Structure 1
Amino acid sequence: MRSLPLCLLLAGLCLAATVQTARASPQASAPACIGNPELKPLKPLVVRTAKGEFRFLVEVADTDRERELGMMCRRSLAPDRGMLFDFVRERGDAAFWMRNTLIPLDIIYIRKDGVVRSIIRNARPLDETPRPAGGPILGVLELAGGRAAQIGLQPGDRVDFPIFRSRP
């Protein structure tokens, strides 16, 4: 009988525990983090702060499934990249958490007119505490943790992207 190396044995046990936990918990609908999800095409987005204009390339999460998965399982995020969550219609009950999110993120809640409503700075990886927007929003921009502070982003600043110009 051949014995498996300890690391493989432990990895198998960890995977089995993850699968069992996911089956046991109805709220555990998110996938286990194996690999990096495929990236969607990137689109240009501009953030305007007192420090100037900052350009980002963002993935747009505009379906229920894409919004559910968000930045889960990502192991890195470049300083000029992000993800924009488009809710299509204004929502007053939005709150984000960091389930299966492996990197710290800045979560920027944006009103339908493109004005930043609120910012959750450096949200902790894997923290499932809901972080509410604090009022109606149309979108959420996620950037690498600490990036909002670097560019001087504050509530009241503007995000320029087509959804904020084309929706009533």
Structure 2
Amino acid sequence: MDCRTIETYTSGAASYAAEWANQPAPDDLYARLTLYFRPQERTVDIGCGSGRDGAWLNAHGYPTAGYDASEGLVRQAAAGYPQYDFGLATLPELKGVSAASFDNVLCETVIMHLPIGQFGPACRRLVELLKPGGVLYLSWRVTGGGSARDPAGRLYSAFDPALVTDALEGATIALDEEALTSSPP
């Protein structure tokens, strides 16, 4: 994971958590998760941020643990949702997160913060988390032009989506689409 991005999220964790709490719920994401995820099965949210999506999953019948690379965001998630489990883990390694342990894996708008050379290992590691027949929901924000940092310092890597699909070789891809969202970064 890009160290400067992690530091940006850690130092601004309270502000990011407040911003995300005040955004409209990502109902389009939740509809997709309801359609594809297996209810009542172990779920993990990689890049859980403030814990909002993990809390939604837990409340809707998907027992979910969350992991993030930012210590500050993990603290925000644990404070906001103390009844759920959150921990520190960084893509692509995700040390401490057991392979073949989850039926559902969510990684929503995280991988674009990785240096391009880490995309393949990160995608393969996300698949390794799945039990046989499990479901991975993976999304990212597309950056026009070249890789860039936003004013806060977060890296947004520009890459060919084939880097992801190539890394997922052998997995069944049930949905592959480009969608526009009005949600802010």
TM-score (norm. length: structure 2): 0.29
Please identify which structure carries the higher helix content. Answer: 2
TM-score (norm. length: structure 1): 0.30
Please identify which structure carries the higher strand content. Answer: 1
